[in-house]
Amino acid sequence: MKKLMTIFLAFLKIGAFTFGGGYAMIALLENELIEKKKWIEHDEFLNMVAVAESTPGPIAINSATYIGYHLAGFSGATVATLAVCIPSFLIIYCISLFLERFLSLTYVACAFKGIQVCVIYLILSTGIQMLKTLEKNWMNVCILCAVMAAMLICSVTAVSFSSVFYVLICGAAGVFIYFLQKVRKETIDK
């Protein structure tokens, strides 16, 4: 019961203090799960982010479910998922009660502009941190370069390309390269 309460409070905190969606939450997840709680290692965190991003649903909820299940099975997954959702639900519910008056406040508009800048910083710093810890091998470098080139080409040519396709293409490329390495290793061993 104590473990479930610890999971609940950790994800309640993450849900309450994260603005800007799942990508902005990654930095807080990393700090809380790896550095403070030491619930997972950095490599497992990168895998969790990849799984959470490539499965349907918000990255925050998928990450909470993954970590909760990893720590305490089904009960942990349920508690972590509820905890990360509760703050957003309550905030949105309260805002919906007086939305028009809330949005017309100058201070609120200015606060949201400041929050936007903060969210961009959080996403960028998290991406750079993940890039620094990424294993430097030719497969990862090739996939990274291919994705960056595809994103650049799509941006320059103004082609609307869903990030889902980037995830699927990278997953397929990873599987393809894995099988190439396996075939190459079998050929060398013979």
Q: Are residues 83 and 121 in the same domain?
A: yes
pLDDT tens for 48-107 read 888 887 777 777 888 889 999 999 999 999 999 999 989 888 888 887 787 777 777 888
Which residues lie closer than 8 Å to 176 by C-beta, 6 or more apart? none
Task: Work out how many domains the chain is built from and give that number.
Answer: 2
- The domain in which residue 175 lies consists of 135-190
Q: Are residues 123 and 147 in the same domain?
A: no
Which residues lie closer than 8 Å to 60 by C-beta, 6 or more apart? 14, 15, 18, 21, 22, 25, 84
Q: Are residues 27 and 106 in the same domain?
A: yes
**Prediction pTM value:** 0.57
Q: Give the confidence band of 22 by pLDDT, cuts at 50, 70, 90.
A: low
